[in-house]
Amino acid sequence: MNIYNYTIKQLEDYFISKGEKKFKATQVFEWLYQKRVKSFDEMTNIKKEVISYLKEDFKINSLEILTKQEDVDVIKYLFKLEDNNKIEAVLMKHDYGNSLCVSSQVGCNMGCRFCESGRLKKVRNLNTSEMVLQLLKIEEDLNIRISHLVLMGIGEPFDNYENVINFIDIINTPKGIALGSRHITVSTCGIIPKIKEFIKDGKQVNLAISLHASNDKLRNELMPISKVYKLDDLMKTIKEYIKQTNRRVTFEYILLKGINDRYENAIELSKLLKGMNCYVNLIPYNETSHIEFKKSDQDTILKFYDTLKKNNIGVTIRREFGKKVSAACGQLRANYKEE
């Protein structure tokens, strides 16, 4: 078992089962995540007999960087996993720090029509360590500190709920990577039962909803999940989330030329979100050669933005990254050719 799969609580339980004090879990976490050791033998304040059974029960593995593409403020990584599957992660440089977008699955079953990842059907969930190691490997490769993290890469995080929650625990733990809750965002296309579970779990991280449409008819055409979880039910669940957590929710909205970018859509969206503690993140579409959708022109994007503003909806326009790289999520993986 890869030791990066274990939360500090799970590692405490492990040591207790071995007749050891649970504080050893904290020691191991400090070696792994603060000192970034590559072997158990480097953990010099841990007894040799403990090191011996750690070696028997765990391994310390990394990820292989297959390739990376760089632009001014973005670096896109393609990793190879132990079973030869491939995943992506994207490092974005902002004025407030380094933000990393990680993948949660190999492929995705949500089938959103505009998404490059949706063409790559789900092969399997990533385990916790494969998410943790995306962050560790990129920090090592670039010799940087990642200050913000978003689960918006390949895959639907709430379709891999347990591993994602363990991942959040590890990167949020003070003795682990110690990334603050407010600097972590989970994005879901709207799996209502898992959002309700997320409410009960009480994680103080940010929640983003991939919305992309202002009514059920349009959302059904773009996102098959909307046929299972209707927009009205999703909004009720999000309102409950806001009530229970007192947290603001982000609604992600990719603007597709002539599809969901009309004035009528902006008005409809304003009515849908009226009175909610939320804001809308408008996303200029990354066009790919495989998918027919086109990016809205700049004038249309600004008019959509202004309409939301005039209707008292908080709104931002996502800065465009990676014009010189395979920018769309899943595109680098789809285009990679084995040598």
Q: What is the CATH number of the domain that holds 50?
A: 1.10.150.530
Instruction: Provide the percentage of residues in the chain whose pLDDT is more than 90.
Output: 87
Rg (CA), the chain: 21
| Selection from 176, 332, 320 nearest residue 255 by Cα | 320
Between strands 97-102 and 148-151, the pairing is parallel
Average pLDDT estimate for 171-182: 95
Last residue of a domain, one of 37, 57, 77: 57
CA 31 – CA 25 distance, rounded (Å): 10
Q: What pLDDT does residue 337 have?
A: 53
Element (H, E) at 241: helix 231-245
- 3-state secondary structure (DSSP) of residue 309: helix
Query: Cα(12)–Cα(137) distance, rounded to whole angstroms?
Result: 25
Q: What is the DSSP letter of 329?
A: T
Structural domain count of the chain:
2
Catalytic-role residue among 112, 115, 189, 329: 329
Q: Which residue has the higher pLDDT, 322 or 199?
A: 199
Residues 51, 157 within the same domain = no
Q: Is 174's pLDDT higher than 80?
A: yes
What mean pLDDT is predicted for residues 14-23? 96
Angle, to 10 degrees, between the axis of helix 231-245 and the axis of helix 192-201? 0
Assess whether 115 carries a catalytic annotation: no
pLDDT at res. 186:
98
Phi, psi of 70 (to 5 degrees): -125, 140
Question: Residue 253: pLDDT above 50?
Answer: yes
Domain boundary residue, one of 28, 57, 86: 57
Q: What is the reported pLDDT for 214? A: 95
The predicted model gives 146-171 an average pLDDT of 97
User: 227 and 177 share a domain?
Assistant: yes
Mean pLDDT, residues 178-199 taken together: 97
Same structural domain for residues 158 and 219? yes
First to last CA, the chain: 30
User: What would the mean pLDDT of 103-120 be, rounded to a whole number?
Assistant: 88
- Of the pLDDT bands very low, low, confident and very high (cuts 50, 70, 90), residue 322 is low
88 is catalytic: yes
- Same domain? 33 vs 141: no
- If you average pLDDT over every residue of the chain, what do you get? 93
Q: Does residue 154 share a domain with residue 107?
A: yes
Domain boundary among 23, 39, 57: 57
The number of beta carbons lying within 10 Å of the beta carbon of residue 47 is 10
pLDDT at 323: 55
SS3 6: coil
Cβ atoms < 10 Å from Cβ of 93: 16
Rounded to whole angstroms, the Cα distance separating 145 from 155 reads: 25
Residue 42 pLDDT > 90: yes
Sheet containing 74-80: which strands, arranged edge to edge?
A: 64-70, 74-80, 86-94, 97-102, 148-151, 184-188, 206-210, 249-255, 278-284, 314-317
The single-letter code of the amino acid at 115 is: C
Please tell me the predicted confidence (pLDDT) of residue 338.
53
Confidence of residue 339 (pLDDT cuts 50, 70, 90): very low
- pLDDT band of residue 325 (cuts 50, 70, 90) is low
Amino acid at 269: L
Supply 303's token pair: 């008019």
How many other β-carbons are positioned within 10 Å of the β-carbon of residue 94?
12
Torsion of CA 272, 273, 279, 284, to 10 degrees: 10
**Shared domain check, 328 and 200:** yes
pTM over 0.85, yes/no: yes
What is the per-residue pLDDT for 292?
86
Q: CB of 8 within 8 A of CB of 25? A: yes
Asked if residue 189 lies in contact with residue 229, where contact means CB atoms within 8 angstroms, the answer is no
Cβ neighbors of 131 (< 8 A, separation 6 or more) are 102, 103, 104, 151, 163, 164, 167
**How do residues 63-88 score in pLDDT, each as one tens digit?**
999 999 998 889 999 999 999 999 99
* Among 12, 88, 116, 156, the one annotated catalytic: 88
Give the residue numbers spanning the domain of 46: 3-57
